Structure 1
């Protein structure tokens, strides 16, 4: 076929240039503000403990407590079967191994609601001790892959206290580590955010702390907790949560929903405060749209109905927790909060079931797409990415193995990561 006669083209080079110039700001916005997910691991949960209760052995102790809780109720396989999950024996084996090796993926030492208001000298001492203990846990290999603190919010009454705790913790952590380096999985959490200005203030604090400690620019990032209605609908009628994600120069790493603070702020009765209340679903849908394409990770909240006490109450609480975890995952919220060691069995059972129950179908479709095999489903590139991301998340948390992926999908872990996140920076290994 002969190439078209350029003389027949109506648009000139000047037209192309003018259109390109008119869209320069759009191109810059998309590149800077919507870079997409970077392909790094996202934990399936965040565990909160009072800061003064943390020891380097805490994660292991929680794993042991979780296993003891299910053993007292007949074991993991009994629980998986009772929850009507697929292949309970396989799930039980995988979750038992998880609870023994990595029972907590993300841990937050809490200086906020879980810690309360204490004398300044007491909180100062605990902030310094927290930094030292986190460094010890990282050095000993007992720290979860992600670990950090939640300090008090930037409202007037607690702002200075929150900043002081952050300052003391960070200095202590650096002083306690070899070569004054921060752990790769360090996470800082700013709670009860209600305005863009609070996020900008946190970004400024991070910048000053980096300067003071000789850290690379941009090294300190933080999560934002969405716990106030003012972040969903501002006084001027805008949606501040969307602006928040772009207001800190790329420092916002996560956006977490706070079940009980948000519910209470709307006047919802305590008995009806839940992750599945319609008001919660609305807020999380707004958060999801705001975060789409930004690379900021989302997390659902928690349930305060704990699996403790008499056996019937334990089973009821487990059933509720497992259902809520599965509900969040189906909604595209791949992370949540856990508040008690006995919630870990259902966190991982429900999570592993989510990834394993759909694995065969997803792997089959991905294999057909990658190897251009005939199929009754015509998947487009965007759907292929979704299939790959689903499998990639399951692989990252231990729900499926690299051997299973290679056998069922016909791709290596490296190729899977490239399919899931084609624009992510190249990484070594899986």
Structure 2
């Protein structure tokens, strides 16, 4: 082949350095999907003990058994009967085996200001975590949410984190895997670096390997959205594990009326898309927020109505590429797993067929013309489904 340029590499002398920077800034690809919890359960510290995980699972199982048969599931959530049967079986098994995938002991909004009580609740929370670990029932992800630096008292926040970590390690002998700390209301970018420095100091003091302590930031205000970018991840030395959206503080910061403080509001869609844009390819996990409602009574209509609303919100989140959210009440576990399992099962066979067709270099049928990017996305969706469904 005849070419015109004798040495194209001479025209791009900075390419190697640029490519190294790209690899460092964007290490994650669709093909590297790893396990991510489908939810984070927040329990106020004063209501948390070693029986919390089991109690949530038992209450959710009871609600499922009394208020949602397989036929109910198909009708209420517009599922094919065979799919509803599979979803119902999987939800029941999940609530029995692992009702909570990710647990946070909450010392912030769900807990409030308790100057004379917080140290005691920190010690009791550490003791409960040690008991869960000893019993083999500590969720795969676990940790705490500390108070925000934006509240003007970072010392209280760090004292709680220090006491919690020290208490767990003293009782267990080491820090169990899966730990993460939630850092809320990040109104100033500088708070992130300051918190990361504190985690490094705690690692040294506790004798932990560098990089052990990672955190997730909460995106809860319009100010926060303005400073989100990929450079943030590199500046924190790999300590930023996730970004979680806080629907109620965020919608309040937008001056929305109370009845519009909902996950499917367009203002929330905008914030979620900014989060996706800022963190795409960085490996930082994204999580949506919560439904701030629980059944007002045990009336079947009331319980099912809440589930219907929650499932609709979860489906909205999933359709926007947010595969994790917050659950605040045992009833939410039922609707969470119903929505997630239906989402993954409803398209699984189609995606698998189209990926196989692509790999075998044949048409998928039905007039479908899949692009390589779509095939990669479907392969990632299958991987994510296997992990969520426990079939990986």
TM-score by length of 1: 0.85
Q: Secondary structure at 1:187's aligned position in 2?
A: strand
Q: CA deviation at 1:17?
A: 4.7
Aligned residue number for residue 42 of structure 1: 36
Aligned mate of 2:93, from 91, 94, 97: 97
Does residue 1:66 correspond to 2:54, yes or no?
A: no
Please list every run of at least 4 consecutive aligned residues from structure 1 whose deviation after the TM superposition is greater than 6 angstroms.
none
Q: Is the CA contact (8 Å cut-off) linking 1:70 and 1:76 kept in structure 2?
A: no
1:172 aligned onto 2:176: no
Q: Is the 8 A contact 1:190 1:224 kept in 2?
A: yes
DSSP 3-state at the match of 2:150: coil
Per the alignment, residue 410 of structure 1 pairs with: none
Match of 1:406 in 2: none
In structure 1, which of residues 25, 31, 39 is the aligned counterpart of residue 23 of structure 2? Answer: 31
Q: Is the 1:194–1:231 Cα contact (8 Å) retained in structure 2?
A: yes
SS at match of 2:185: strand
Note if 1:108 corresponds to 2:104: yes
1:388 aligns with 2:382: no
- 2:295 and 2:70 map into 1 onto residues whose CA distance is 14
CA deviation map 1:11-63 (0-9, x unaligned): 42xx51551x4234532331222111553310001110012322223222111
Q: CA shift at 1:214, angstroms? A: 1.6
Count of residues in Structure 1 that have an aligned counterpart in Structure 2 = 385
1:175-194 matches, cutoff 5 A: 175-178=170-173, 180=174, 182-194=175-187
Pick aligned residue for 1:123 from 118, 121, 124? 118
5+ residue gaps, structure 2, are: none
- Following the alignment from structure 2 to structure 1, what is the Cα–Cα distance between the partners of residues 331 and 289? 17
Residues in 2 aligned to 1:360 and 1:342: alpha-carbon distance in whole angstroms? 30
Cα offsets for 1:193-247 (capped at 9, x unmatched): 12221110111011111111121111111101000111112xxxxx435543332
1 CA distance for matches of 2:183 and 2:353?
42
Q: Which residue of 1 aligns with 2:314?
A: 325
SS in 2 for 1:155: helix
Q: What is the distance in 2 between the residues matched to 1:254 and 1:132?
A: 26
Q: For residues 74 and 186 of structure 1, what CA distance do their matches in structure 2 show?
A: 34
Residue range with higher mean Cα deviation, 138-147 or 375-384: 375-384
* Structure 1 residue corresponding to 2:270, chosen from 274, 282, 285: 282
SS at match of 1:232: helix
Task: Please state whether the residue corresponding to 1:148 is helix, strand or coil.
Answer: strand
- 1:141 corresponds to which residue? 136
Structure scoring higher RCO (CA < 8 A, sep ≥ 6) equals 2
Structure 1 residue 144: deviation in Å? 1.2
- What's the TM-score, normalizing by structure 2? 0.93
Q: Is the deviation greater in 189-198 or in 156-165?
A: 156-165
Deviations 1:94-116 (A, max 9, x none): 11001110111111110000111
Match of 2:210, SS state, is coil
Aligned to 1:214, which of 207, 213, 217?
Answer: 207
* Aligned residue among 189, 203, 214 for 1:196: 189
Corresponding residue number in structure 1 for 2:293: 305
Superposition deviation, residue 266 in structure 1: 1.6
Partner residue in 2 for 1:85: 79
Other-structure match for 1:251: 239
Question: In 2, Cα distance between the equivalents of 1:275 and 1:25?
Answer: 41
Q: CA RMSD in A?
A: 1.9
Deviations 1:134-155 (A, max 9, x none): 1221221111111110000112
From the superposition, tell whether residues 243 and 158 of structure 1 become closer, same or farther in structure 2 (CA, over 3 Å): farther
1:316 equivalent in structure 2: 305
CA-to-aligned-CA distance 1:159-188 (integer Å, 9 cap, x gap)? 11111111111111111223x2x2221111
